[in-house]
Structure 1
Amino acid sequence: MTCPTCGSHDISKNGTSHRGKQNYKCRDCGRQFVENPQWQPKPKETKALVNRLLHEKIPLAGIARATETSESWVQGQANAAYESVPQTAEVVPKPQGPLKVQMDEWRSFVDHKGNKQWVWLAMDAETREILGCHIGDRSRASARALWESLPGVYRQCAKVYTDFWEAYVTVIPSRRHEAVGKDSGLTSYIERLNNTLRQRVARLVRKTLSFSKKLENHIGAI
């Protein structure tokens, strides 16, 4: 018998565990353990695979079946992954000059369809970079949060194209804002991104049962 912590062989019996297995104690480091424990830590390869599968349109139950792990463990791994996601986008610095931004907002749900959460996005029309994001209601305050999430050079110089939602008019300076219809093509890139996200993230599909139960997980998944 070898201590799994220090490798010592000076081991004594120390009663039984709550599962009825013989419990042992190391006299050198004090570690208590059982022989052939039922619970084993997951390999790093399994954790890495789960993290990659979280980027695909696969339910957590499907990931658990594919990796032969429990759904509760996969849920804990997903929660940890969502919490570690940075909440700011990295944008390549731009010099002052003519810039074009496309903005749009679209509806999602958390826990049930009565709890609507709107995803607000801003994209550079030239580089296709995500410049800003906000998830909340469809109010002026959310439009303001999206506008303030943009880098300063875009708030100073960019021409912004949006749909006709009134919240944009009250937030974006009128000299740099233009409301356009879908037929103009001036918001086509951000509209295409919205469709892509709905295809990649199951909880964003219009008719879905894959609801997030927590807003934090919803934001992390997006």
Structure 2
Amino acid sequence: MTCPTCGSHDIMKNGTTRRGKQNYKCRDCGRQFVKNPQWKPIDPDSRAMIDRLLLERVPLAGIARVVQVCESWLQSYVNRYYQGVPRQVQVEPKDKGRLVVQMDELWSFVDDKGNKQWIWLAMDVVTREIVGCYIGDRSGTSAVALWQSLPGVYRPCAMVYTDYWEAYTAALPSKRHRAVGKESGLTSYIERFNNTLRQRVSRLVRKTLSFSKKLENHIGAIWNFIHHYNELIRSERPSC
């Protein structure tokens, strides 16, 4: 028998574990271990696979089955992962001049459908980047938070197109805000992204069992996909 830490063969028995398995101890380094342990560290390739699967419409139970990890470990990993996701967009430098932004809000919920969480989004019409996001209620306060989430280059000069939801009127500069109907096509890009978000994030599918039970993870999952989407848009854009 070999110590898994130092490779020593000077091993002695050291009682049993709480599950009744024989416990061993290395006399050289003091490491305690059992033969054929049920718990094994998750290798980097499996973690990378989990990170990719979190960007697809796969529930956590499905990810646990695919990667063959414990669901409780996966939930803890996801909690830590989403805590580290930045809650602010990073956009490419923009030339001086008027920018055009489309805004819209998307319904979602956490834990039960009575706990509504509206996803407020802003998209740059030219680059198709998501340039603003806020998750909260559907009040004017959330509309203001969406406007404030935009990078500084947009707020002084951007022309903003939204639907007729009244919260936008008080939150956006009147001279650079236009409320339009769907038939105008002036909010079509952000509405299309809303559909993409529902199709790619399992927590947002209307009839799903994969809904969020924790608000922090709900927000983290949405921001995680937004960062991925922006990176994908930039990579597909032809270079000059």
TM category, shorter: over 0.9
Indicate the residue corresponding to 1:34 in structure 2: 34
Indicate the residue corresponding to 1:12 in structure 2: 12
Query: Hey, what's the Cα distance between the residues in 1 that align with 2:210 and 2:35?
Result: 41
Corresponding letter in the other structure for 1:8? S
Indicate the residue corresponding to 2:156 in structure 1: 156
**CA deviation after TM superposition for structure 1 residue 100, in Å:** 0.3
Question: Greater share of strand residues, 1 or 2?
Answer: 1
Indicate the residue corresponding to 2:121 in structure 1: 121
Query: Hey, what's the Cα distance between the residues in 2 that align with 1:42 and 1:156?
Result: 48
Task: Please state whether the residue corresponding to 1:199 is helix, strand or coil.
Answer: helix
Query: Hey, what's the Cα distance between the residues in 2 that align with 1:91 and 1:202?
Result: 26
Query: Hey, what's the Cα distance between the residues in 1 that align with 2:68 and 2:35?
Result: 23
Indicate the residue corresponding to 1:55 in structure 2: 55
For the aligned residue pairs, the C-alpha RMSD in angstroms reads 1.4
* Between 11-20 and 122-131, the greater mean CA deviation after superposition: 11-20
Corresponding letter in the other structure for 2:46? T
Indicate the residue corresponding to 2:168 in structure 1: 168
Query: Hey, what's the Cα distance between the residues in 1 that align with 2:143 and 2:49?
Result: 37
Where structure 2 has 5 or more consecutive residues not aligned to the other structure, the ranges are 223-240
Query: Hey, what's the Cα distance between the residues in 2 that align with 1:109 and 1:178?
Result: 28
Deviations 1:29-83 (A, max 9, x none): 2211112222212232222222211111112222222233332233233223322
Where structure 1 has 5 or more consecutive residues not aligned to the other structure, the ranges are none
Query: Hey, what's the Cα distance between the residues in 2 that align with 1:96 and 1:129?
Result: 17
Query: Hey, what's the Cα distance between the residues in 1 that align with 2:97 and 2:199?
Result: 35
Asked if the contact 1:95/1:153 (under 8 Å) is kept, the reply is no
**CA deviation after TM superposition for structure 1 residue 146, in Å:** 0.6
Query: Hey, what's the Cα distance between the residues in 2 that align with 1:206 and 1:23?
Result: 50
Counterpart mapping for 1:138-153 below 5 A? 138-153=138-153
Indicate the residue corresponding to 1:205 in structure 2: 205
Task: Please state whether the residue corresponding to 2:52 is helix, strand or coil.
Answer: helix
Indicate the residue corresponding to 2:227 in structure 1: none
Query: Hey, what's the Cα distance between the residues in 2 that align with 1:210 and 1:22?
Result: 40
Asked if the contact 1:147/1:155 (under 8 Å) is kept, the reply is yes
Corresponding letter in the other structure for 2:167? A
Task: Please state whether the residue corresponding to 1:221 is helix, strand or coil.
Answer: helix
Deviations 1:82-136 (A, max 9, x none): 2222211110121331110101111100000000000000010111111110000
Query: Hey, what's the Cα distance between the residues in 1 that align with 2:152 and 2:47?
Result: 38
- After TM superposition, the score normalised by the length of structure 2 is 0.87
* Between 164-173 and 12-21, the greater mean CA deviation after superposition: 12-21
Query: Hey, what's the Cα distance between the residues in 2 that align with 1:14 and 1:131?
Result: 59
* Between 70-79 and 112-121, the greater mean CA deviation after superposition: 70-79
Task: Please state whether the residue corresponding to 2:94 is helix, strand or coil.
Answer: coil
**CA deviation after TM superposition for structure 1 residue 8, in Å:** 2.1
Corresponding letter in the other structure for 2:156? Q
Query: Hey, what's the Cα distance between the residues in 2 that align with 1:10 and 1:200?
Result: 54
What's the % identity of the aligned pairs?
72
Indicate the residue corresponding to 2:76 in structure 1: 76
Task: Please state whether the residue corresponding to 1:212 is helix, strand or coil.
Answer: coil
Query: Hey, what's the Cα distance between the residues in 1 that align with 2:182 and 2:86?
Result: 32
- After TM superposition, the score normalised by the length of structure 1 is 0.94
Indicate the residue corresponding to 1:92 in structure 2: 92
Equivalent residues, number: 222
